[in-house]
Structure 1
């Protein structure tokens, strides 16, 4: 095997591992069922886990930062090593943006909207008046663009069966949860927004693991 091919495959393994670790870190919210964080999984946003007034908030904030620190170099590495295709280029750039937005999420945590001087405003989801809403929106949008781009690429280029099949199922699941949240935001009542977001974020983590599996198991199809 040529030295360049061995080197490329070695980098591919590192990229896959970085994406997989990012997916695991992004699922750190499951610790809310183990740690005494005093959240309501039915109605509370996951962003409240990183709020400064919550116990163990540094644990969840650190996990978010690790997601970005893993994904940004992984995306850059993929752009440098893997064959350039229009849709996959969009996907890797979007994945890097997701990593950056996730770091920003941790740097601008949710403020306590119960405080009289919080300035969050009124409404069903007053937290959306905060800077954290922007970083969260950028993160969700970025990974959605990445997932759609890679799924479309898998079908158009007839490659990466893992993404074509399982990745598409995860993408649809996350999209349904997102629609659930967007519709509920315009209705009176909570409509279990906490559950909807946990499904959404869980789908994001699972999609990252799916992408990692596709990169690792189908390495040759990324390089060719």
Structure 2
């Protein structure tokens, strides 16, 4: 029987914040490279989302287009930044052994806020008046 190559990417094999054995494996370097790749890709994706959210919200406000985005975008961007700052703070408290500081909630909030902002953008574009 032919053995298949491991996938290029995939889910984490375990969650170090939820499982002490996984945390010990991660500290010992006994988890696949996908754990590091996951952290890097998540950081890049969040950074890109924040840059896009900020830029398009500023453009909507400055050029007086997409009134809905111009009104609600700044609040969503501010909340996204707060959730994004919460995430490394939670990682730091976990790394120092002081709990997870609700890391999972922070990460879910980040994704939910990006999704909400995208809905506002889509609604703004869909209802844009052409002059």
Query: What's the TM-score once normalised by structure 1's chain length?
Result: 0.43
Judged with a 3 Å threshold, the aligned counterparts in structure 2 of structure 1 residues 141 and 133 are, in CA distance, closer, same or farther, namely same
Larger gyration radius, structure 1 or structure 2: 2
Shift of 1:184: 2.3
| Counterpart in the other structure of 1:109 | 11
Shift of 1:208: 0.9
Judged with a 3 Å threshold, the aligned counterparts in structure 2 of structure 1 residues 140 and 219 are, in CA distance, closer, same or farther, namely farther
Mapping 1:28-107, distance limit 5 Å = 107=9
Which stretch of structure 1 is more off in the superposition, 129-138 or 140-149?
Answer: 129-138
Mapping 1:129-148, distance limit 5 Å = 130-148=36-54
Shift of 1:192: 1.0
Instruction: Confirm or deny: 8 A CA contact 2:12 2:34 kept in the other structure.
Output: no
4+ residue segments displaced more than 4 Å: 113-116
Unaligned runs of 5+ in 1: 1-105
Judged with a 3 Å threshold, the aligned counterparts in structure 2 of structure 1 residues 190 and 119 are, in CA distance, closer, same or farther, namely closer
Match for 2:64 among 141, 158, 163? 158
| Counterpart in the other structure of 2:85 | 179
Which one scores higher on RCO, CA 8 angstroms, separation ≥ 6?
1
Query: What's the TM-score once normalised by structure 2's chain length?
Result: 0.70
Distance 2:52 2:70 in 1: 14
| Counterpart in the other structure of 2:5 | none
Aligned length: 111
Aligned residues: CA RMSD: 2.9
